[in-house]
Structure 1
């Protein structure tokens, strides 16, 4: 199962309809919680995602709307006696903030947290199902976006396997070894398969437009990106270190994104249809205006055609 579960879509302040940030990515065996803002525990209850499901927590930066749910989430891991280690990633420069949030109140800590700060732009972390990469964004404090990349695989072509008389256990051997010797002829894996492109997920929160935004978004199957402001507030967005819906949509188009999820909306806007209208002027692909407590599937795999 690969899908995004949206917990909250507000920015600096929540509204009656939008909770503070929070996003869960289900990626096969990995269940990653991104930017747990206030109210994360309650939002998780509404979605059916449990603390026991979580394998990893990623924090982009230490502004309150992106991290004030950490104390409750961490305590819940211990309350529920989560049996597996849970990795936590955050900007290394915010280690003091993380330590304060982790022990904000008294509790009996039984969960095993594996604390792995992001210490460098471009840092890569091996996860189940791919590689998690962090890129330094342009905001008022140290901020990182995250990108999950699955390695390319291969798709065997039944008609070509049949033409060479390859079947049964021989197919598995061909996959493992890369070739088979048949009746004096070597058949390579490349002759009977095509590349199966790995999937890519990108998560971009508070930032002004910068090269890292494009690097994270490049060829993403699913891009979750802040669009705090509309284009009419472009100057304010730049001053505050944020993006507009138009900027986010142009990034998606120029980066080859398949599905674009806009979120992190300023409380000044009550009608989010304006974000959709603005984004559609710049992005012709699959567009989602995120809503609290909804689920967004990762698009099906890209399939390379046989040459």
Structure 2
């Protein structure tokens, strides 16, 4: 059975706390397992989740500040230690290729796994995956930073009551799917007549950024939006100065972009009470709100309701 869920490894920002590890997010999406922004301690946090290095198919790094990448050496070496059989793609800002190379070979190890660097260029990029398109867009931060979103293609689902109405069953359904139409009792029945649209699902991952057009583009119609809310609105001026978002800003982005489930994370260590982020966000977003905690699992919402053809 296909599984689509986010597993949170860490939710701190620049400095970890006793309750919050550095960043780290695992996305299970059918046959793909994507690791986003592995900060320090990510390898150990993975042990608590039941997800191992052998599950990984892709690594995505938004930028090369330490809380988003210092877990890379351990993760990369673990791929070889566990002799991961599948190639693992690694996406990161092309301008930070030197940092990636240093982290990749931070210490001596016997490299057996195949890690495929696929850097993101300055204009952003799209990468084909087995489950859809992975898109990267440039964000607004003091260093080169990208957000990511995974977009599943739109599809369709067959309507049993319509198939029954036209007397289509068994192998004939397969033929209809292959050809797009079927002649039944002297009448041509098209696939559109017996199916409904099935909108593809979307996942968006937005870290370390000030407000910019790319934030809204990534968040547009996201079924699951994971977005930083480093500060509360009382520190909005500081957030703008250092290229971060407040909980209120993140919530407004979600509301204006039509996101369905909003996950706030990347909290400054200055705040001891996470409920303050929820209270602030609720003033602007009335959808499904999650305040991320370490080792939490968040399900991708069920598909949007499909319309009849």
TM-score interval for Structure 1 and Structure 2 normalised by the shorter chain: over 0.9
| Aligned equivalent of 1:285 | 287
For structure 1, the residue ranges without an aligned partner over 5 or more in a row are none
Distance 2:153 2:123 in 1: 21
| Aligned equivalent of 1:32 | 34
Distance 2:134 2:178 in 1: 25
Deviations 1:108-139 (A, max 9, x none): 11110011001143411111111100010000
Q: 2:152 aligns with which of 150, 171, 178?
A: 150
More deviation, 211-220/155-164: 155-164
| Displacement after TM superposition at 1:305 (Å) | 3.1
Residues 231 and 239 of structure 2 are in contact (CA less than 8 Å); yes or no, is this contact kept in structure 1?
yes
Distance 1:280 1:222 in 2: 17
| Aligned equivalent of 2:235 | 233
| Aligned equivalent of 2:192 | 190
| Displacement after TM superposition at 1:48 (Å) | 1.0
| Aligned equivalent of 1:304 | 306
Q: 2:268 aligns with which of 261, 266, 269?
A: 266
Structure 1 residue matching 2:197: 3-state secondary structure: strand
| Aligned equivalent of 1:205 | 207
Deviations 1:209-266 (A, max 9, x none): 0000000000000000000000000000000000000000000000010000000000
The two structures, once aligned, show a CA RMSD in angstroms of 0.8
| Displacement after TM superposition at 1:306 (Å) | 2.2
Structure 2 residue matching 1:249: 3-state secondary structure: helix
Structure 2 residue matching 1:207: 3-state secondary structure: coil
TM-score (norm 1): 0.99
| Aligned equivalent of 2:61 | 59
Structure 2 residue matching 1:12: 3-state secondary structure: coil
TM-score (norm 2): 0.98
Distance 1:304 1:82 in 2: 38
* Matches for 1:1-307 after TM superposition, within 5 Å: 1-306=3-308
Distance 1:218 1:111 in 2: 36
Deviations 1:250-283 (A, max 9, x none): 0000001000000000010010000000001100
Structure 1 residue matching 2:48: 3-state secondary structure: helix
Structure 2 residue matching 1:6: 3-state secondary structure: strand
Distance 1:185 1:200 in 2: 38
Distance 1:45 1:85 in 2: 21
More deviation, 158-167/178-187: 178-187
Distance 1:175 1:156 in 2: 9
Distance 2:176 2:125 in 1: 34
| Displacement after TM superposition at 1:183 (Å) | 2.7
- How many residues in Structure 1 have an aligned counterpart in Structure 2? 307
Which of structure 1's runs of 4+ aligned residues deviate more than 6 A? none
| Displacement after TM superposition at 1:185 (Å) | 1.9
Distance 1:230 1:173 in 2: 57
